[in-house]
Amino acid sequence: MLSAAWKAQCRREGLPLSPRCPRRKCAGCPCCSWYEEHLFRATGETSTADCNAGRDYDFAMAHFEILAGAGIKWQLKVHSGDLTRMLHELRADLGEPALREHRVDEAYLLTTMQNGYGTREPWKLDREALIIVLGEVKRHVRRLLKRQKPEIDQPF
């Protein structure tokens, strides 16, 4: 995606395409400064070393996809990626049966975000807010599961 975005940028600006670009860390070339600027616009970081492999990757790929004019695949992932990762974490921690039983799905997570943060658009929330939502959903489901367990009689 980066290569396609850089080529599109060169065509728009009338720049010659460097034989070492895109992004082979050729110090001082227009590609490197352009890349860092656009990575920062997408993720708030100038290096992928400071980005996470999930959310930041989706944001960066969607940004470069727009610049390349290469479709909407990554833009759609931005819209669904956070929910997918949250449900994966919930399944790993609580199990699929518990989620199914208590109807925890994408709609449930979106409603929780709406109630807590006034938005149903997870990509507009920062990472910390999503962690809070995830934690609250985990606590809620654990409480429900705990209530369902029968009390064990203690022998006298």
Q: What is the pLDDT of residue 149?
A: 67
Low-confidence ranges of the chain (pLDDT < 70): 18-28, 149-156
CA-only gyration radius of the chain, Å = 22
Q: What is the pLDDT of residue 30?
A: 76
How many other C-beta atoms lie within 10 A of the C-beta of residue 30?
A: 17
Q: What is the pLDDT of residue 1?
A: 85
Q: What is the pLDDT of residue 65?
A: 94
Q: What is the pLDDT of residue 24?
A: 60
Q: What is the pLDDT of residue 136?
A: 93
Q: What is the pLDDT of residue 19?
A: 55
CB 74 within 8 A of CB 1: yes
Cα 113 to its chain centre, rounded Å, is 15
CB 41 within 8 A of CB 70: no
CB 81 within 8 A of CB 59: no
Q: How far apart are the first and last CA of the chain?
A: 70
Write down the residue that tokens 């985990």 correspond to: 138
Q: What is the pLDDT of residue 152?
A: 56
CB 69 within 8 A of CB 8: yes
Tell me the C-alpha distance between 132 and 112, whole Å: 10
Q: What is the pLDDT of residue 154?
A: 54
Residue of 23, 63, 68 whose CA lies nearest to 41: 63
